A and B are shown apart, each in its own frame.
Chain A
Amino acid sequence: MKQNNKAGKGKLFSVQAAAAPAAAFLTILIFIVSVGASAFRKDDAPVKEIRLIAINRDSVESVKAFETVYKVLMSPRCMNCHPAGDIPLQGDDSHLHAMAPKRGVEGKGVYAMKCSNCHQDTNTPGLHTPPGNPEWHLPPAAMKMVFQGKSPHELARQLIDKKQNGNKDIKKLIEHADDGLVLAGWNPGEGRTLPPVSHADFKKAWLTWIKKGAYAPKK
């Protein structure tokens, strides 16, 4: 039996040895194709940033950065528009939005209860007035992107799943840190608390989490 095992291992090693040049060739081929494809890009996308992901993977740093990301995404300024149900949340205690406006197919409300009927392009002055943004909406019904009730593990997995994150690839995820509605969280209007860290610190944690491999915490 031992001899058979040894023979088996020998076979395995020889297969690996044979596969090594093929793997190296494949890597070079992928690199050439990637470089060739990027030459035809019309936008000024930060290709360099995406490439960093492959060479800087660090699960410990990534998970640590996600602690900050999670705290921000679960704060009322972010979570209130990522509810588990079809009614947005409101206030620092994340209660159901007064008047119970519904999500609607596009996430922009229904009938006489559309978001932009009350939410203007900018914050309305005064306490308890509607905060504003030109793009004010919930995620659409077909992809609800729920934050409420999600564990760090669940949320991290969801954020990098294109079937659950609004079809965002890594490049779009990176860009999303500067999305107008994300930024609106740090300009919430009178009487609303800010997210737990500054936008700069959030963005730093967001990029670190992604660039270090977008690892999900164990729980």
Chain B
Amino acid sequence: MTKITLNINKKEYPLEADPQMPLLWAIRDLAGLKGTKYGCGVAQCGACVVHLNGEAVRSCVTKVSRAVGKQVVTIEGLSETNSHPVQKAWQDIDVPQCGYCHSGQIMSAVVLLREKPDPTDQDIDDAMAGNICRCGTYLRIRAAIHLAAETQKKTAPQG
């Protein structure tokens, strides 16, 4: 075990962990943030996506050591009141069915909209193909991303 400090959602978490531990374990079991889900454990499903310095990494295969000194953002840190445009679009369109994969879906969608504020269906497919939804909510996911893009456009500072 090694003493490490992780910055998760702009808060410092002093932890004792094996540097080889998956980041997902540290987030859920050591920091106690349960919004990020374990799906496959081998980077195949996307349920565990969090942001590491803004990139949508899969925390089940990302070692804790890679996150030291970087900014980790989980679904809990996206907004304080679930008011991020993507979260709001998810609520407005009632996207989830069972909901298990959706923190990962939302975290991936946020990266897409940051890099492509007005995505086409193809852009959405390219960005979201790694996030699997067993309930098959893909069409609602796509609609919600378009809605979030519209909301971002309206609320973006003019100029």
Question: Residues of A at under 8 Å CB distance from B?
Answer: 98-102, 110-114, 116-118, 120-121, 124, 126, 128-130
Q: CB-CB < 8 A to B37: which residues of A?
A: none
When the two chains form their complex, are residues B62 and A111 in contact, meaning their CB atoms are under 8 A apart? no
When the two chains form their complex, are residues A102 and B126 in contact, meaning their CB atoms are under 8 A apart? yes
Q: CB-CB < 8 A to A126: which residues of B?
A: 42
When the two chains form their complex, are residues A130 and B43 in contact, meaning their CB atoms are under 8 A apart? yes
Q: Does B94 contact A (CB under 8 A)?
A: no
Chain B window 36-74, contacts with chain A (Cβ cutoff 8 Å), 1 for yes, 0 for no: 000000111000010000011110011100100000000
**What DSSP secondary structure best describes chain B's contact surface?**
mixed
When the two chains form their complex, are residues B126 and A113 in contact, meaning their CB atoms are under 8 A apart? yes
Can you list 23 A-B contacts with CB-CB less than 8 angstroms, sorted by A residue number? A100-B126, A101-B129, A102-B126, A110-B126, A111-B108, A111-B127, A112-B56, A112-B109, A113-B56, A113-B126, A113-B130, A116-B57, A117-B55, A117-B57, A117-B58, A118-B43, A118-B58, A118-B130, A120-B61, A120-B66, A128-B44, A129-B42, A130-B42
When the two chains form their complex, are residues B127 and A110 in contact, meaning their CB atoms are under 8 A apart? yes
User: Which residue among A101, A121, A126, A129 has the maximum number of chain B CB atoms within 10 Å of its CB?
Assistant: A129
Q: CB-CB < 8 A to A129: which residues of B?
A: 42-43, 61
Given A100-B126, A128-B44; 5 other pairs, CB 8 A cutoff: A101-B129, A112-B109, A113-B129, A118-B130, A130-B42
Q: CB-CB < 8 A to A98: which residues of B?
A: 44
Q: Give Cα A124–Cα B57 distance, bound, in whole angstroms.
A: 14
- Known contacts: A120-B62, A120-B66. The answer to whether A112 contacts B43 by CB under 8 A is no
- State how many angstroms separate the Cβ of A150 from the closest Cβ of chain B: 26
Q: Which residues of B108-127 are within 8 A (CB) of A?
A: 108-109, 111-112, 115-116, 123, 126-127
When the two chains form their complex, are residues A100 and B129 in contact, meaning their CB atoms are under 8 A apart? yes
When the two chains form their complex, are residues B115 and A130 in contact, meaning their CB atoms are under 8 A apart? no
Q: Does B128 contact A (CB under 8 A)?
A: yes
- State how many angstroms separate the Cβ of B101 from the closest Cβ of chain A: 13
Q: Give Cα A63–Cα B8 distance, bound, in whole angstroms.
A: 56
When the two chains form their complex, are residues B61 and A124 in contact, meaning their CB atoms are under 8 A apart? yes
A102, A116, A120: the one contacting B55 at CB < 8 Å is A116
- Known contacts: A112-B112, A112-B127. The answer to whether A117 contacts B56 by CB under 8 A is yes
- State how many angstroms separate the Cβ of B127 from the closest Cβ of chain A: 4
Q: Give Cα A208–Cα B131 distance, bound, in whole angstroms.
A: 46
Q: CB-CB < 8 A to B43: which residues of A?
A: 118, 124, 129-130
User: Which residue among A112, A116, A120 has the maximum number of chain B CB atoms within 10 Å of its CB?
Assistant: A112
User: Which residue among A100, A124, A130 has the maximum number of chain B CB atoms within 10 Å of its CB?
Assistant: A124
Q: CB-CB < 8 A to A116: which residues of B?
A: 55, 57
Q: Which 3 A-B pairs have the closest CB atoms?
A: A112-B108, A111-B127, A112-B56
Q: Give Cα A130–Cα B116 distance, bound, in whole angstroms.
A: 27
